[in-house]
């Protein structure tokens, strides 16, 4: 069983349904992947796994992270509001002369121009796991 959802902060969209039905999938390979704009960093991926799954759930779920894209103009109103708040937070950091992280710089740039980091080859690791 393969499920994928977008990342919202560190939460995987829709993963609650998988967690609620995990006991019905005990005899199956369960794969969950998340898509996000941030580059792959082990510490960030660990945080996503730990925020979304208990240590017991992690024993039954193989997790993958795939880099996705972001287009502010295609967001729904609620998501635009959230992202505008994030943008203000980042700009406030600039006004206070605080250094931005690479993710913050990238996020700020993506408001004006959509970004797409999807690559077909990124699913190769998932395919290899399914075939193992």
pTM (predicted TM-score): 0.81
Q: Name the DSSP letter for residue 74.
A: G
Residue written as tokens 């945080």? 47
What pLDDT is attached to residue 1?
93
pLDDT for residue 111 = 84
Kind and range of the H or E run holding 3 = strand 2-8
**Confidence at residue 34, expressed as pLDDT on a 0 to 100 scale:** 96
Beta strands in the chain (DSSP E): 2-8, 11-12, 30-36, 61-67, 69-70, 115-116
The reported pLDDT for the residue numbered 112 is 84
Domain boundaries in the chain?
Answer: 1-68+117-132, 70-115
Q: At what angle do helices 77-95 and 102-110 cross, to 10 degrees?
A: 130
CB contact at 8 A, 126 and 64: yes
Low-confidence ranges of the chain (pLDDT < 70): none
CB hemisphere CA count around 126 (13 angstroms):
18
């Amino acid at each position: 069983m393969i499920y994928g959802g977008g990342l919202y902060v560190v939460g995987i969209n829709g993963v609650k349904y998988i967690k609620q039905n995990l006991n019905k999938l005990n005899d199956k390979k369960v794969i969950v992947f998340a898509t996000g704009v941030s580059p792959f960093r082990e510490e960030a991926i660990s945080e996503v796994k730990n925020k979304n799954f208990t240590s017991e759930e992690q024993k039954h779920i193989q997790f993958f992270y795939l880099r996705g894209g972001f287009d502010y103009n295609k967001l729904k109103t609620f998501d635009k509001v959230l992202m505008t708040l994030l943008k203000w937070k980042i700009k406030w950091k600039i006004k206070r002369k605080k250094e931005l992280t690479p993710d913050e710089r990238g996020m700020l740039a993506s408001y004006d121009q959509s970004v797409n980091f999807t690559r077909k080859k990124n699913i190769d690791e998932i395919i290899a796991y399914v075939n193992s």
